[in-house]
Structure 1
């Protein structure tokens, strides 16, 4: 009976650790979008998100796994172009390309602190937080 309890407790702890690991290792995405009425004639509809009855062009998508940048997608005239980021590249190079290689993300009361910049929370739905910086730019944090 003691052995059964020990196995049960060990399995319970293992399940809790696995749930914690998978919730932490969930990929996170950050979308940066911009509104310009001329973009609709240049880019395909799949590159846009609708917010406040405007079509915002998704300019960049940063994908993170375990808080490390793994992929960047850029808008192109035929769809999205994808650049894979290798872990060895992250170690060798500094943030010279202008994009954050390590995710530094914290949610405070009514703002998001993302890579040392503060963004006001405009709207929050389930696992997504939207911040509208100005009239023509938004940033979307997807957990």
Structure 2
């Protein structure tokens, strides 16, 4: 009887953990600002087009299983990719506040890290929100973000 109960509880735990891994999609969150310069040296991958305006990506956070795994930032003529390993804890003080994804997705808004963003446009798996006249934030809910 005890072996059967332990096996049943163990099976339920494994199914629960597998469902978390399979059902949780990866997220990518991008902040960008209007590109005011016409002669810049940033690669094309650093730009997002929204409402016929070019936005320069300022930060791109990639989450796997709701844990920050990469941070991508543009630098002149290149991009900087910082990879994080949760178990080695290589997060800087600034990155620690983004270490875990705290996201509440509602029909017309998304709450991210304690701040609410109104959804202005949805395109496929991407939700665009204007922070102000010159900045946007994009929430991408997808698998295989690399």
TM-score under structure 2 normalisation? 0.75
Q: CA deviation at 1:141?
A: 0.4
Q: Per the alignment, do residues 137 and 20 of structure 1 end up closer, same or farther by CA in structure 2, a change over 3 Å counting?
A: same
Give per-residue Cα distances to partners, 1:4-59, cap 9 Å, x unaligned.
Answer: xxxxxxxxxx99x85663231x3210011111311652322221011111110011
Structure 1 stretches of at least 4 aligned residues deviating more than 4 Å after TM superposition: 17-20
> In structure 2, how many angstroms separate the alpha carbons of the residues matched to 1:57 and 1:40?
13
Q: Does 1:134 pair with 2:121?
A: no
> In structure 2, how many angstroms separate the alpha carbons of the residues matched to 1:40 and 1:100?
32
Q: Counterpart of 1:22 in 2: which secondary structure? A: helix
Q: Which residue number in structure 2 is paired with residue 96 of structure 1?
A: 93
Q: Which residue number in structure 1 is paired with residue 109 of structure 2?
A: 111
Q: Counterpart of 1:41 in 2: which secondary structure? A: coil
Q: Counterpart of 2:131 in 1: which secondary structure? A: strand
Q: Is the 8 A contact 1:46 1:79 kept in 2?
A: no
> In structure 2, how many angstroms separate the alpha carbons of the residues matched to 1:103 and 1:54?
28
Q: How does 1:50-89 map to 2 (within 5 A)?
A: 50-89=49-88
Whichever structure has more helix as a proportion of its residues is 1
Q: Is the 8 A contact 2:21 2:65 kept in 1?
A: no
TM-score under structure 1 normalisation? 0.76
Q: Which residue number in structure 1 is paired with residue 32 of structure 2?
A: 33
> In structure 1, how many angstroms separate the alpha carbons of the residues matched to 2:39 and 2:120?
24
